[in-house]
């Protein structure tokens, strides 16, 4: 699910969630904290969707979606808004 979050982030913003010249720089960026909210690049993205994408990219696995079903359930509630 983490990888799906990175792909969704890139599709939404046109850039990866973390960047760097080397793999070490990318890892340092990941360790430094969460990426910018997708809506900081694309203002039309709802705050709830921002939260979902950032939850997919949470550094700690305990803070991410535990299953694809949980993610789909959030998508269902997003479509109801």
pLDDT of residue 81: 60
pLDDT of residue 80: 65
pLDDT of residue 1: 94
pLDDT of residue 3: 94
Q: 58 near 50, Cβ under 8 Å? A: no
What is the block-wise mean pLDDT of the chain (81 residues), using blocks of 10 residues?
96 96 95 94 94 94 94 85 60
Which helix (H) or strand (E) is 71 found in, with range? helix 68-80
């Amino acid at each position: 699910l983490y990888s799906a979050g990175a792909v969704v982030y890139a599709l939404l913003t046109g850039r990866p969630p973390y960047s760097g010249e080397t793999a070490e720089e990318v890892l340092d960026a990941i360790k430094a904290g969460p990426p910018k909210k997708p809506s900081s690049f694309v203002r039309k993205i709802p705050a709830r969707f921002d939260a979902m994408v950032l939850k997919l990219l949470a550094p700690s696995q305990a803070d991410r979606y535990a299953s694809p079903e949980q993610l789909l359930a959030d998508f269902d509630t997003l479509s109801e808004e």
